[in-house]
Amino acid sequence: MKQFTIKITCKDEKGLVYRISEILLENGLNIIKNDEFVDNEKALFFMRTEVSGIADPEKVIDQLKKQLGDCSIELSQNESKNVVVLVTKEHHCLADLLIRNQFKDLNFNILAVVGNYENLRELTEKFNIPFIYIPAENITRAEHEEKIKTVFKDYNYDYLVLAKFMRILSPDFVKDFEGKIINIHHSFLPAFIGANPYKQAFERGVKIIGATAHFVTNDLDEGPIIYQDIIKVSHSKTAKDLAKMGKDVERIVLANALKLVFEDKVFIDGNKTIIFE
Q: Which residues bind a copy of itself (CB under 8 A)?
A: 12, 14-18, 21-22, 24-25, 28-38, 40, 91-92, 95-96, 99, 102-103, 105, 123, 126-127, 188-192, 204-208, 210, 221, 224-230, 232, 234-236, 244, 247-248, 252, 255, 269, 271-275, 277
Question: What residues contact residue 220 under an 8 Å CB cut-off, 6+ apart?
Answer: 271
- Least Å distance, CB 159 to a copy of itself, is 19
CA dist list (Å): 208 to 190, 204, 214, 222, 243 = 14, 11, 20, 21, 12
Question: What residues contact residue 221 under an 8 Å CB cut-off, 6+ apart?
Answer: 189, 190, 193, 271
Rounded Cα distance between 189 and 50, Å, is 32
CA dist list (Å): 34 to 5, 9, 37, 151, 256 = 9, 14, 10, 38, 21
Of the pair 148, 226, the CB lying nearest a copy of itself is at 226
- Which among 12, 39, 221, 269 is annotated as catalytic? 221
Of the pair 78, 150, the CB lying nearest a copy of itself is at 78
Of the pair 89, 149, the CB lying nearest a copy of itself is at 89
Active site residue 221: yes
- Least Å distance, CB 228 to a copy of itself, is 5
- Least Å distance, CB 243 to a copy of itself, is 11
How are the residues of the chain apportioned to helix, strand and coil, as percentages rounded to the nearest 5? 30, 30, 35
Q: Do residues 134 and 145 make contact, with C-beta atoms less than 8 angstroms apart?
A: no
- Least Å distance, CB 240 to a copy of itself, is 12
- Least Å distance, CB 151 to a copy of itself, is 25
Of the pair 99, 142, the CB lying nearest a copy of itself is at 99
Of the pair 166, 191, the CB lying nearest a copy of itself is at 191
Q: Do residues 242 and 212 make contact, with C-beta atoms less than 8 angstroms apart?
A: no
User: Which residues are identified as catalytic?
Assistant: 221
